[in-house]
């Protein structure tokens, strides 16, 4: 018998009305460890209705009381984040240290949200006109939906829900069906922290649950992270229903290595950014652009560092774990096949990996491919696996043009010791997040996270002040307090005096 992973409503588990489920597996063994409930429309409406019912009281809860709950949640999360990391490893496959890093980065947004009283301060202008004051306030939206991907089952939801809750909204989180247990663990932690029933809810499911979040009039906004085709669908469907939508899509992140770069530093960075979390990161580097005569040396240094990596069960002494599902493992492997057939050179072949893990695990080792050209599918497509392609160019301008011509614009990096070249790159590249000698330029919580072009649909990035503004609406108030006897009829347009 396997565990059934249910919804969470009003601070308790909710089985729902459907018998439909999807299997949850341990990627290191291939074993089915649970069955996640797949919501019906009625189930989704039950969850949304609970969030809507809880909104008025939470909206009117003082900032002081809200922040007390946030601080308590932060403390509980800090004490027990090791538990959450182990849950993530069991269902996603990433090594425990990587999962712990994910939780810690999500916790930074919780800490940012603890400062919400300062962030919600409005403006005030006294005597804008004679005895007339003008001021602004920000108020919550209502029920907000969060649809999160499999690759960061803790961190990505935490980009959104701490700020949403801090600003007075109620939340319905729809996690990935591939690793849903982390969401329930987080929900129970919120309840323990004292969050009132109905403020944080979990809706398990597939497209049926997503579509209800996108169309139900009680849901006022949707935050999404996933592939570009689904991000486009979420944005189009949600905005057509009158909602605010921030939909973060796919990526094809390039790192430019200039001839003056420290090649040892660059090679370390390419291995870390290309193969960490088995490449299942939207900020992973998948295209290494070698400029000028350094390509042979750079490829050799990357290969030297890649070959000894230990691949295996994330709970053991491993550098990299399995991929999340067998289907995804096979899809990633097919891109290696295609690159080889297109004439690229397989320098390190992950298809032949001998892992320290179960024979039925979803294994694919780090793969380094040289002599990749821009028309190959291994370059054009978001592979989302441990595949690093090396593209050789002669000049900085060729490298820049390559990146700017790409339909994605999520993250990029440049490795150089030339400050002028780095400054020029950050000015000219058409990408939302840029690293200078930093391979994975994920901003701190008080800056925004988001890309350009096909990597983002909507006007708002995640967390930072973008998040505060996304989850609130502004009111501008003009007031005058005078003796009740003052008045008179004047049909003219109001004028300042």
- SS3 at position 377: helix
- CA 162 – CA 112 distance, rounded (Å): 9
Please report which helix (H) or strand (E) contains residue 441, including its range.
none
Catalytic residue among 189, 282, 369, 454: 282
CB 201 within 8 A of CB 173: yes
CA atoms within 13 A on the CB side of 447: 10
Burial class from Cβ neighbours inside 10 Å (0-12, 13-18, 19+) for residue 62 reads exposed
**Which of 9, 10, 29, 21 is closest to 325 using CA atoms?**
29
Residue appearing with tokens 């306030």: 137
- CA 398 – CA 419 distance, rounded (Å): 19
* Contacting residues for 66 by C-beta, under 8 A, at least 6 apart: 58, 116, 165, 166, 168
- CA 80 – CA 54 distance, rounded (Å): 27
The DSSP-derived string for 88-138 is: HHHHH---HHHHHHHHHHHHHHHHHHTTHHHHT---EEEEEETTEEEEEEE
Question: Could you confirm whether 114 is annotated as catalytic?
Answer: no
CB 152 within 8 A of CB 178: no
Joined tokens for residue 79: 């004490």
- CA 122 – CA 128 distance, rounded (Å): 16
Which residues are catalytically annotated? Answer: 282
């Amino acid at each position: 018998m396997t565990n059934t992973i249910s919804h969470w409503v009003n601070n308790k588990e909710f089985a729902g009305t459907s018998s439909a489920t999807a299997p949850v597996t341990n990627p290191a063994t291939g074993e089915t460890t649970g069955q996640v409930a797949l919501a019906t429309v009625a189930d989704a409406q039950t969850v949304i209705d609970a969030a809507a019912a809880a909104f008025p009281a939470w909206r009117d809860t003082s900032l002081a009381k809200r922040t007390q709950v946030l601080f308590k949640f932060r403390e509980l999360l800090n004490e027990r984040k090791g538990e959450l990391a182990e849950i993530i490893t069991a269902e996603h496959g990433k090594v425990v240290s990587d999962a712990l890093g994910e939780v810690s980065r999500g916790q930074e947004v919780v800490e940012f949200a603890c400062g919400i009283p300062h962030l919600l301060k409005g403006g005030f202008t006294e005597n804008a006109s004679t005895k007339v004051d003008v001021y602004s306030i920000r108020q919550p939206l209502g029920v907000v939906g969060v649809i999160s991907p499999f690759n960061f089952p803790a961190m990505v939801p935490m980009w959104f829900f701490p700020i949403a809750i801090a600003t007075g909204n109620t939340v319905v989180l729809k996690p990935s069906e591939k690793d849903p247990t982390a969401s329930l663990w987080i929900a129970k932690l919120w309840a323990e922290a004292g969050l009132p029933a109905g403020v944080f809810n979990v809706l398990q499911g597939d497209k049926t649950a997503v579509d209800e979040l996108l169309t139900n009039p009680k849901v006022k906004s949707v935050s999404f992270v996933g592939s570009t085709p689904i991000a486009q669908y979420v944005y189009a469907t949600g905005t057509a229903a009158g909602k605010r939508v921030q939909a973060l899509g796919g990526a094809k992140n390039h790192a430019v290595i200039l001839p003056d770069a420290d090649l040892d530093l660059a090679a370390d960075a390419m291995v870390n950014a290309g193969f960490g979390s088995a490449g299942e990161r939207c900020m992973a580097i998948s295209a290494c652009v070698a400029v000028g005569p350094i390509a042979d040396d750079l490829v050799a240094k990357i290969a030297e560092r890649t070959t000894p990596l230990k691949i295996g069960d994330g709970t053991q002494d491993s550098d990299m774990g399995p991929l999340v599902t067998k289907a995804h493992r096979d899809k990633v492997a097919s891109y290696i096949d295609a690159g080889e057939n297109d004439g690229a050179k397989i320098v390190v072949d992950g298809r032949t990996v001998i892992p320290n893990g179960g024979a039925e695990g979803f294994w694919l080792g780090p793969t380094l491919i040289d002599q990749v050209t821009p028309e190959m599918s291994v370059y054009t497509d978001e592979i989302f696996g441990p595949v690093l392609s090396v593209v050789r160019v002669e000049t900085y301008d060729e490298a820049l043009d390559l990146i700017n011509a790409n339909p994605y614009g999520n993250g990029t990096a440049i490795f150089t010791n030339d400050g002028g070249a780095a400054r020029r790159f950050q000015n000219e590249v058409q990408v939302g997040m840029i690293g200078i000698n930093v391979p994975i330029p994920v901003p701190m919580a008080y800056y925004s996270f988001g890309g350009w072009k096909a990597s983002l649909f909507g006007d708002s990035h995640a967390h930072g002040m973008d998040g505060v503004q996304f989850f609130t609406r502004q009111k501008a108030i003009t007031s005058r307090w005078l003796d009740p006897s003052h008045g008179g009829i004047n049909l003219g347009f109001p004028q300042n005096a």
